[in-house]
């Protein structure tokens, strides 16, 4: 194990780990204690010079947590969750509410990430340190097999932002089917009948559930999404995308109608769609309405402001913290699932179709 691994497990920078071992100022005492405790439990002995001898001695001494704590665990570099997950708007907002909720409950929040490339080794180290602690796992990008392997090692596990009903694990998740249905039904009620769908080219269960809800609305209103109006885009690139633009340009060159509205599986996708349309001289919403999903902070920064399906991230996090801190028995034995409803937030990127 290297210093980088200790930093990842502790949810801090490599520089913070170095300061902890050297005994130098620059980090809080709680953080220093946590880093040294993690290093001890992981069996890590730093390469040190003479001035660091005292810090190394501390690392080999038993350390108790000063206050009860929760662990927020992320599996990075798998699917849409990158190693820079804390910079991705949706996950950044989740972490913000987790910090608030933990603090309000009198708990400190530990944040740790497992790199999928070192999954087994990192999971083993996490389990050795946190088997008795409540763990909130970001499940957005994870499949059933991975969740099962994690739950076997972490008995007090709560999974956030996904749900597999056939697993006996507590899940707190968004009702994505409802959100997709709300977006599709709103477009149909507004008079749209030529509707497009912008899907992520990286698939996760949440996106699939949004599609199911959207398709339910289309069936109710007897609307068929044409193959020419189906788009596959990069969900991590909130910028103009050539593949999407080429497909729109081909419709115009062939004299075929553009969709009067496009539903996007996430706000990042929606922002990219709006920028792509703007570069082609297509106005939003005068020519094409755009609806996103998530209601991230950037939804009100773009122009026009984005109509979107709101994911109540604060309520999801509050429910997960309550589960993780209130159950004395192992919660993973119960399989208690909490579904959080969505709401469509109407802003300026959507309107009735031009013909209405």
Please name the residue that has the structure tokens 């801190």. Answer: 325
Chain-centre distance for alpha carbon 240: 22
Q: Architecture of 176-312 per CATH?
A: 3-Layer(aba) Sandwich (3.40)
Which of 107, 79, 105 has the alpha carbon at shortest distance from 91?
79
CATH superfamily of the 3-174+315-340 domain: Response regulator (3.40.50.2300)
CB 213 within 8 A of CB 180: yes
pLDDT number for residue 255: 95
pLDDT number for residue 26: 55
Mapping DSSP to helix (H, G, I), strand (E, B) and coil, where does residue 344 land?
strand
pLDDT number for residue 260: 97
pTM flag (> 0.75): yes
The answer to whether domain 3-174+315-340 and domain 176-312 are alike in fold is: yes
pLDDT number for residue 144: 94
Question: What are 110's strand-pairing partners?
Answer: 71
pLDDT number for residue 264: 98
Which positions of the chain have pLDDT values less than 50? 48-66, 328-330, 332
Structure confidence by residue, pLDDT tens digits, 68-80 = 788 999 998 888 8
Structure confidence by residue, pLDDT tens digits, 15-27 = 677 778 777 655 6
Q: Sketch the domain layout of the chain as residue ranges.
A: 3-174+315-340, 176-312
Q: Give the dihedral sign, CA 7/12/16/22.
A: negative
pLDDT number for residue 61: 34
């Amino acid at each position: 194990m290297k210093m980088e691994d200790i930093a990842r497990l502790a949810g801090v920078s490599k520089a913070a780990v170095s300061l902890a071992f050297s005994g130098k100022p620059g980090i809080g005492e709680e953080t220093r204690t946590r880093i040294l405790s993690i290093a001890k439990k992981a069996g890590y002995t730093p390469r040190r010079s003479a001035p660091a001898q005292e810090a190394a001695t501390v690392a080999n001494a038993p350390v108790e947590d000063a206050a009860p704590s929760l662990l927020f665990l992320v599996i990075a570099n798998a699917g849409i969750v990158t190693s820079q997950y804390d910079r991705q708007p949706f996950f950044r907002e989740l972490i913000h509410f987790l910090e608030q909720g933990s603090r309000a409950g009198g708990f400190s929040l530990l944040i740790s990430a497992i790199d999928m490339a070192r999954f087994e080794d990192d999971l083993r180290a996490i389990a050795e340190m946190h088997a008795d602690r409540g763990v909130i796992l970001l499940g957005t990008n994870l499949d059933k097999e991975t969740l099962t392997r994690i739950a076997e090692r972490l008995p007090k596990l709560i999974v956030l932002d996904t749900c597999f009903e056939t697993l006996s694990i507590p899940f707190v998740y968004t009702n994505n089917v409802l959100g997709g249905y709300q977006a599709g039904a709103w477009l149909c009620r507004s008079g749209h009948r030529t509707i497009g769908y912008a899907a992520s080219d990286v698939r996760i269960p949440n996106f699939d559930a949004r599609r199911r809800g959207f398709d339910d609305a289309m069936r109710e209103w007897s609307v068929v999404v044409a193959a020419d109006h189906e788009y596959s885009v990069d969900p991590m690139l909130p910028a103009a995308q050539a593949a999407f633009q080429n497909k729109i340009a081909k419709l115009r060159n062939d004299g075929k109608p553009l969709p009067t509205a496009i539903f996007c599986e996430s706000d990042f996708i929606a922002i990219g769609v709006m920028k792509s349309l703007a570069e082609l001289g297509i106005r939003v919403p005068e020519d094409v309405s755009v609806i996103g999903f998530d209601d991230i902070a950037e939804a009100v920064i773009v122009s026009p402001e984005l109509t979107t399906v709101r994911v109540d991230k604060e309520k999801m996090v509050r429910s997960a913290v309550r589960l993780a801190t209130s159950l004395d028995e192992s919660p993973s034995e119960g399989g208690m699932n909490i579904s959080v409803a969505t709401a469509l937030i109407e802003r300026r990127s959507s309107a009735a179709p031009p013909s209405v």
